[in-house]
Amino acid sequence: MNTPVLTIEERQNIESGAWFSKLSQPLRHAILSRAYVRRLSDGGPLASRGTPAEEWCGVARGAVRVSLVSLSGKQVTLTYCEPGVWFGDIALFDGLPRTHDADAQGETTLLCVRKADFKELLSQHSELYDALLRLNCRRLRLMFNQFEDLNTKPLSARLAKQIIMLAKSYGIEQGEEIRIGLQLAQEDLAQLLGASRQRVNQELKGFEREGAVRVEPTRLVVLSRDKLLDIAEG
């Protein structure tokens, strides 16, 4: 299979990713040579809960929204996969169906490896087993940190921390301000934090009064990262 055609920016997002960049050059080349490019428009479906796992993906541009439907029928956002993040390997390992829904948040480009090629990569590159083990250990650590925050920190601290993370992943510097490029409604933020939209709205108004952020209709602008850090650590 030919090396996929990505834009310069998309290729850089993949190659500079925290996980991918630490792989050996032969393994990086092997992954790229077996991958194909998939482009999705905003809201485009990628995977559905309960369906067989068919591919392993890396985000080259945009974001992938991982969600589920609650017992009441409400769609709940769990996380967003940002550029440089790879996902989908767990279901390929255990052979069980997908555990969540996944769709594009904004215009999104993915680098995908089919199941058969993924298995072939594992058989030819033992390094990939160790690399994926480290990746999943990191996911577990992040998950435990989120559980700890949920049970020990007030909503204001968790919201400030979430905004800092979004600014790091999707921030666009504009002078002294950082505009978060990912389009998120307050309901989306609330779902990420396990809170109501009303409470998140109240906290954001407080952040605005303190000069930490500016709230726009579908965007957040960070005015002071230091003030957000103080709130997150308070």
Q: b/e string for 72-111 if b means 16 or more Cβ within 10 A? A: eeeeebebbbbbbbbbbbbbbeeeeebebbbbbbbebbbb
| CA atoms of 205 and 201, how far apart (whole Å) | 6
pLDDT at 3: 53
φ/ψ of 104, rounded to 5, equals -75, 140
| CA atoms of 158 and 162, how far apart (whole Å) | 6
Residues 6+ apart with CB under 8 A from 31: 20, 23, 113, 121
Percent of the residues in the chain that have a pLDDT greater than 70, as a whole number: 98
The pTM of the full predicted model, rounded to 2 decimals, is 0.87
pLDDT in tens, 64-99: 999 988 778 777 888 999 999 999 999 999 999 998
The residue type at 204: L
Residue found by looking up tokens 């504009």 in the block: 174
Q: Residue 1 — very low, low, confident or very high, per pLDDT cuts 50/70/90?
A: very low
Q: Residue 4 — very low, low, confident or very high, per pLDDT cuts 50/70/90?
A: low
| CA atoms of 213 and 177, how far apart (whole Å) | 9
Q: Which of 51, 188, 175 minimizes the C-alpha distance to 106?
A: 188
